[in-house]
Amino acid sequence: MEGSRIPRHVAVIMDGNGRWAKKRLLPRGAGHKAGMNRMIALSEHIFDRGVTFCTLYALSTENLSRPKEELDGLYALFREYFPRNTQTLKKKNITLKVIGDRALLPADVVRLICEGEALTAGGTRGTLLLAIGYGGRQDILSAVNAAVRQGREVGMEEFSAMLSTGDIPEPDLLIRTGGEVRLSNFLLWQSAYSELYFTDVLFPDFSDKELDRALEVYAGRERRFGKI
Ligand code: FPP
């Protein structure tokens, strides 16, 4: 791959599963299944490329208003794939962390999340963050409320550490698949200086090669963080 600058943290908005299925005259659930398989393969490839933190936007707070049938299908996929894949992460020495409002998720899904986090805790090769029931505004608001409860003003770094991403560095590269050009409430505070990469490729088609293309584009960007 051209360019040696590898982003430390890559965040991905995985969009386009439904349209991928529609194009093939398949039910939306088939798109999510294909997306799930791609998500697993991609998260292996991303760490092989030297990225240390990867955040995947699996389910937003807004996605939770989708029809019950679709959500049930997503949770069923999660139950089927998640335990097996946390074993893989453990073997690969990768820590799993789930961000988002767990009160919005079914109890058994939350239990699996806790087990997966406990199993992979302390993995030193990298950290995979899965955003489930996550909203950037909610993340900011709950940190604000925590500061208010403490009855004091907080500084920038302290505030960042109060977000659900804690002391994880901000994303260097934020990718959105599926053709929409917006952040949709993802990591709003944390992405202030992220390089943005939008592609029309639907998530199930976002191959390892497509990721390498995004990494190449990133390597060619000049980051100035507001300076000259
Ligand atoms: C976006 O495609 C994808 C999602 C909303 C779900 C992604 C989740 C997984 C792959 C599985 C993980 C499951 C859990 C519960 C963590 P879309 O449906 O918005 O596609 P469209 O814009 O083409 O309709």
Q: Which of 63, 139, 172, 185 is catalytic?
A: 63
The reported pLDDT for the residue numbered 228 is: 83
pLDDT at 59 over 70: yes
15 C-alpha to ligand 1 centroid (Å): 6
Domains along the sequence of the chain with CATH: 10-219 (3.40.1180.10)
Q: Is the CB of 18 under 6 A from ligand 1?
A: yes
Q: Over pLDDT 70: what percentage of the chain? A: 98
The reported pLDDT for the residue numbered 223 is: 85
Average pLDDT over residues 81-93: 96
pLDDT at 125 over 80: yes
Q: How far apart are CA 171 and CA 165, in angstroms?
A: 10
Q: Write the residue with the smallest CA distance to atom 5 of ligand 1.
A: 59
Average pLDDT over residues 108-135: 98
Give the predicted TM-score (pTM) of the model: 0.95
Closest by alpha carbon to 45, among 3, 2, 1, 99? Answer: 1
pLDDT, averaged across the chain: 96
106 C-alpha to ligand 1 centroid (Å): 17
Beta bridge partners of 57: 13, 131
Q: Residue 10: exposed, middle, or buried by beta-carbon count in 10 A (0-12, 13-18, 19+)?
A: buried
Catalytic residue list contains 17: no
The reported pLDDT for the residue numbered 4 is: 58
Q: Is the CB of 14 under 6 A from ligand 1?
A: yes
28 C-alpha to ligand 1 centroid (Å): 9
The reported pLDDT for the residue numbered 226 is: 87
Q: Over pLDDT 90: what percentage of the chain? A: 95
CB atoms within 10 A of CB 63: 18
Residue 90 CA from chain centroid, whole number: 18
pLDDT at 149 over 60: yes
The reported pLDDT for the residue numbered 2 is: 44
The reported pLDDT for the residue numbered 3 is: 45
Residue 188 CA from chain centroid, whole number: 13
Q: Is the CB of 19 under 6 A from ligand 1?
A: yes
Catalytic residue list contains 15: yes
Closest by alpha carbon to 175, among 36, 15, 5, 49? Answer: 15
Q: Is the CB of 17 under 6 A from ligand 1?
A: yes
Q: Which residues of 182-203 are buried (b: 16+ CB within 10 A; e: fewer)?
A: ebebbbbbbbeebbebbbebbb
Query: Best mutation site among 39, 59, 71, 205 for ligand 1, i.e. most ligand atoms within 8 A of its Cβ?
Result: 59
- Residue 203 in tokens: 């998530």
